[in-house]
Amino acid sequence: MNAKKILILVIALCISVTLAASANEIKATDYSKKGHWLSLPAATDKQVDVFYLYPSAWTKVIASEPNVCSIDNPIMLVGAKAWFDRQATAFETVGNIYAPYYRQDNAQYALTLSQEGQAALVGGIPKTDVFAAFDYYIKNYNHGRPFILAGHSQGSTVMALLLSEYMKAHPDVYARMIAAYVIGYSVTGDYLAKNTHLKFAQGPDDTGVIVSYNTEAPNVTANPMVLPGAMAINPITWTRDGTLATAAQSLGSLMTGAGDKLVQVKDFADGQIDLTRGVLVCSTVDVAKYSPGNQTFGKGVFHHFDYQFFYHYYY
């Protein structure tokens, strides 16, 4: 084969590799479209913003569906609003709340994967959307205001990436972060060791810090959201030791009452850090009613109520 033919083959190969790479690139959702936002405040009358990422709000109806939903999936749109009402509204007295819709993975599928597999899945389409949404928010909506990040479950897994990657690359943005609520997911010592620009909250007056915990009943031994080395802070006392904070010390919970209306409840949930597992133990809530167990979360895992039990502590 002469040199000219070899050159032609090399060029053709390079073109095919480039085209393949382009085909595999993930195109982010367009966040200049207001329809791709769950919440955009009508007025920015607060001095602080809140950027909220809802937890898993969608699951497959048909097994043949993709493992990541579309941005306009009707189940996700309805579920995201329901989670917003139970979680993000805790911040409405203090912040202008911005919440993008983002394409989610199917949590039931994700939890069958290894930690590496889960990381690869959430690091694909969900991360692409969240990074694009946050970048658009910073450049077009934030206008230099300090902000709070608030996430739960799948939202927190993507937020952990936002903290480790985006904030590292944009220290000027990170300097305005008041706190990141990475709730319902594990922030570990290893994660912080790999991301030395981040720090975990030690008390109520800390800023620029991560707040995290997973809520369980006593004697729970398995929780898919709890990783080895998980760290936690008590949202009643904002301390990290194992001292019990009683339900009487609580400012209140947000629970479902008559007619499925959300109502404020006093003296409902206590909290105590289990220093061995790195979780928040709640002993005053009826396990049979609020966490009887299912195929995803075992009995006593109060994952769905991480925000609601301690609703009045986020401002």
Domain extents in the chain: 29-313
Tens of pLDDT, residue by residue over 222-264, are: 999 999 999 999 999 999 999 999 999 999 999 998 888 999 9
The answer, yes or no, to whether residue 211 has pLDDT greater than 60, is yes
Q: Is pLDDT larger for residue 248 or for residue 1?
A: 248
The answer, yes or no, to whether residue 30 has pLDDT greater than 90, is yes
* Nearest to 291, CA basis, from 227, 215, 240: 215
Q: Is pLDDT larger for residue 207 or for residue 107?
A: 207
The answer, yes or no, to whether residue 55 has pLDDT greater than 50, is yes
Sign of CA dihedral 79, 83, 86, 90: negative
- Strand-strand pairing, 177-183 and 262-265: unpaired
Average pLDDT, integer, range 160-166: 97
Phi, psi (degrees; rounded to nearest 5) at 92 = -70, -20
Instruction: Give the span between the Cα atoms of 280 and 294, in whole angstroms.
Output: 20
Least-confidence region, from 9-18, 45-54, 269-278? 9-18
The answer, yes or no, to whether residue 10 has pLDDT greater than 50, is no
Cβ–Cβ contacts within 10 Å for residue 43, how many? 6
The answer, yes or no, to whether residue 5 has pLDDT greater than 70, is no
Instruction: Give the span between the Cα atoms of 67 and 59, in whole angstroms.
Output: 9
Q: Report pLDDT for 24.
A: 57
Instruction: Give the span between the Cα atoms of 155 and 274, in whole angstroms.
Output: 24
The H-or-E segment that residue 135 falls in is helix 125-137
pTM comes to 0.90
Instruction: Give the span between the Cα atoms of 234 and 149, in whole angstroms.
Output: 18
Cα-based torsion angle of the residue sequence 238, 273, 187, 59 in order, rounded to the nearest 10 degrees: -110
Instruction: Give the span between the Cα atoms of 174 and 168, in whole angstroms.
Output: 8
Give Dmax over CA atoms of the chain in angstroms: 85
The answer, yes or no, to whether residue 18 has pLDDT greater than 50, is no
Q: Report pLDDT for 110.
A: 79
Average pLDDT of the chain to the nearest whole number: 90
Q: Report pLDDT for 1.
A: 52
Cβ–Cβ contacts within 10 Å for residue 3, how many? 7
Residues paired with 245 in a beta bridge: 271
The answer, yes or no, to whether residue 201 has pLDDT greater than 60, is yes
